[in-house]
Amino acid sequence: MRLTPRFLLSAAAPLAALPGRAVAEGMPQLHFKDPLLQGQVVWGAIIFIIFYLLLSRSALPRVADVIKARETRIQSDLDLARRARKDADQAQKELCEAREKASEDANATIQSIRETTRDAIRVQAEETAARLEAEIKNAEAQIILSRNNALNSINEVASSTAVTLAERLIGTADQKAIAAAVERAHAAGAEHVS
């Protein structure tokens, strides 16, 4: 074929003639008496119904099951995580409370020990002081008693010494007079002393 005006015309003609041809020969889709066209509709109905039944009874529920299973699993995992977090929070709270309580208990124990110790020390100190006081008093009484005893025995010793001296000197001794004299001297001495 050559690129002649005649050819160009003939090439363009079908485009222009298309509607005309369609009317002339008719679109195959409009040959409604064509048994194949009628059969196509019947077959189409059968195929579409089978397609629909397979989809609705088998294929689509399968997809739905998978999607639902995934949602359920994600939900349960989320629940699990949420529960774990709640447990952890609870545990932490309990730990904090326990720590606070232990701290309070320890403080109370320290306080009570401190008080008990202080009381014990005070009581002990008081007891010691009282004992010392009593011992001092006892000692003082002992001293006074010893002193008195000593003072009392002075007269006797002096009398017996005077009697012995008098007997040696003069041969005789008036024991009563000597005792009286000693008594007087002692009294005078005591006055002097005191």
Partner 1 sequence: MASGSTIDALGQFELHPIFGSFGEALRFSQAPLYMVISSAVVLAFLYVGMKPKAVVPGRLQAAAEVSYDFVHGLAVDTIGEKGTSFFPFIFALFFFILAGNYIGLLPFSYTFTSHIAVTFALAITVFIICILTSLRFQGMSFFKHFMPEGAPVALSPILVPIEILSYISRPISLSIRLFANMVAGHVLLEVFASFTIMLAGLGVVGDALAVAPLVLNIALTALELLVGLLQAYVFAILTCIYLREAVDH
The answer to whether the CB of 155 falls within 8 A of the CB of 182 is: yes
Binding span for partner 1 by CB under 8 A among 61-69, 105-113, 158-166, 170-178: 61-69
Dihedral of the alpha carbons of 153, 154, 159, 164, in degrees to the nearest 10: 100
Binding span for partner 1 by CB under 8 A among 42-50, 134-142, 172-180, 186-194: 42-50
Least gap, CB of 3 to partner 1 (angstroms): 5
Tell me which of 16, 20, 64, 100 binds partner 1, using CB under 8 A. 64
Q: State the chain's maximal CA–CA distance in angstroms.
A: 208
Q: What DSSP letter does each residue of 126-143 carry, written as one string?
A: HHHHHHHHHHHHHHHHHH
Tell me which of 5, 16, 20, 38 binds partner 1, using CB under 8 A. 38
Tell me which of 5, 20, 33, 62 binds partner 1, using CB under 8 A. 62
Record the tokens describing residue 100, joined without a space: 């606070």
Number of residues that bind partner 1 (CB under 8 A): 49
Q: Closest Cα to residue 100, out of 110, 108, 89?
A: 108
Q: How far apart are CA 169 and CA 161, in angstroms?
A: 12
Q: Encode burial over 89-110: b for 16+ CB neighbours within 10 A, e otherwise.
A: eeeeeeeeeeeeeeeeeeeeee
Binding span for partner 1 by CB under 8 A among 50-58, 87-95, 100-108, 168-176: 50-58
Q: Is position 147 an interface residue for partner 1 (rule: CB under 8 A)?
A: no
Tell me which of 16, 69, 129, 188 binds partner 1, using CB under 8 A. 69
Task: Catalog residues that contact partner 1 under the rule CB under 8 A.
Answer: 1-3, 7, 10-11, 13-15, 18, 21-22, 25, 27-30, 32, 34-45, 47-48, 50-52, 54-56, 59-60, 62-67, 69-70, 73
